[in-house]
Amino acid sequence: MSKVVYNFSAGPSVLPKQATEAAAAAIADYANTGIGILEMSHRSKPIEGMVAETESLLRELLSIPSGYEILFLGGGASLQFCMAPINLLAQDASADYTDTGVWAAKAIKEAKRFGKVNVISSSKNSVYDHIPKDFKQTDGATYLHITSNNTIYGTQWKEFPTANTYLVSDMSSDILSRPIDVSKFGLIYAGAQKNMGPAGVATVIVRSDILGKAGREIPTMLDYQTHIPEHSMFNTPPVFSIFVMNQVLHWLKNLGGVSAMEKINAKKSGLLYDALDSSKLFKGTAAKEDRSTMNIPFVFHSSVVPTDKKDALEKDFLTGAKEKGLEQLKGHRSVGGFRASIYNAMPIEGVEQLVSYLCDFEKKII
């Protein structure tokens, strides 16, 4: 039997086994057609049906009201950094943005190409260790953009702000981790490769009445209104990625949906945060009230590990973790230390093993 491995990667990240097994089988023969899914036309009945089912599963799981369209597009979340303002923001209008991390900053940079951007709050000066919630929205701003979960820094909006108009959110790293009130949002976008499936597809949930108002010529492929009547089939969509997402959504539904998932995520993250809070060697880096249930960065206490010993001890920690099958725990370079990404598909046993390793390592050092 192969060794049990727990993959704490920030993305692409762990997927439910059920979904990866179904994906492997579908490559050989999709839905008993004798043709593999990679070789099948997106216009064929089985694929059209699968994409439509994926859309309706997502609508059901996130309670997406009527008036909202669901799209599966290529280009990742990064393409949405520009597609959102191209479609929503008129040249002479402005939008409010909250600067909560590198991804938020990238969204800001792209939006500036298409209209005026008001950065109404930022936690950049403290390496994005908290969500800056004290802000004033700009009168007349078209929308308020947030990044619901900041993958690198492990901060998460626990309650969404109420926008004067509507929210636009990058939910790449926490979509489907908890119930959300979609009606607060005009647009939600997310790269799939954390909680939804493999890379290659981004999900867009858009309220259709906000479209068609930007007053600019939009290249066909970048116009949401191109893709809506075509049900994401204007061109060849990333069929295989959508299929894996379909399987992930079935898995989530069978587990009890996003409310059940939220409880599991609270339990998993609680276990790890409790261990970090009671540790004399490790500490979490994010402000307690904004701690993410998805990404948990942590470092050594600098009072215990002097700077000149830090790199070597971090290496020891990671080597020991790998020996125990605890993979991909190295922190992002901007935060340092370690990061455990515990997305929906990370089993609680993985977190328990990590906590046990943290305790053992600490006993060896202190």
Longest CA–CA span in the chain (Å) reads 64
From residue 6 to residue 25, the character string flagging contacts with ligand PLP as x (rule: CB under 6 A) and all else as - is -----x--------------
Contact code string over 92-121 relative to ligand PLP, x by CB under 6 A: -----------x------------------
| 194 in active site | yes
Q: Is 96 exposed, middle or buried (0-12, 13-18, 19+ CB in 10 A)?
A: buried
Q: In whole angstroms, how close is the CB of 63 to ligand PLP at the nearest point?
A: 22
Cβ within 8 Å of residue 316, ≥6 positions away: none
Among 129, 124, 88, which Cα is nearest to 298's?
129
Nearest to 75 by CA among 254, 224, 268: 224
Between 191 and 337, whose beta carbon lies closer to ligand PLP? 191
> Strands (DSSP E) along 37-171, which ranges?
68-73, 94-99, 116-122, 144-147, 149-150, 155-156, 167-170
For the bound state, the minimum distance from the C-beta of residue 221 to ligand PLP, rounded and expressed in Å, comes to: 16
Q: Residue 170 interacts with ligand PLP (CB under 6 A)?
A: yes
Q: Shortest gap between Cβ of 151 and ligand PLP (angstroms)?
A: 3
* Residue of the chain from 16, 76, 197, 331 that contacts ligand PLP (CB under 6 A): 76
The yes-or-no answer on residue 251 being catalytic is no
- How many residues of this chain bind ligand PLP (CB under 6 A)? 11
- Alpha carbon distance 312, 116 (integer Å): 46
Among 151, 169, 246, 285, binds ligand PLP (CB under 6 A): 151
End-to-end CA distance of the chain: 35
The answer to whether residue 103 is catalytic is yes
| Per-residue interface string for the shown chain with ligand PLP, residues 338-357, x marking contact by CB under 6 A | --------------------
Residue of 326, 69, 334, 295 whose CA lies nearest to 204: 69
Instruction: Output the smallest distance, CB 225 to ligand PLP, in A.
Output: 22
How many distinct helices (H) and strands (E) make up the chain?
9, 14
Interaction site with ligand PLP (CB under 6 A): 11, 76-78, 103, 147, 151, 170, 172-173, 191
- Give the residue numbers annotated as catalytic, written as ranges: 103, 170, 194
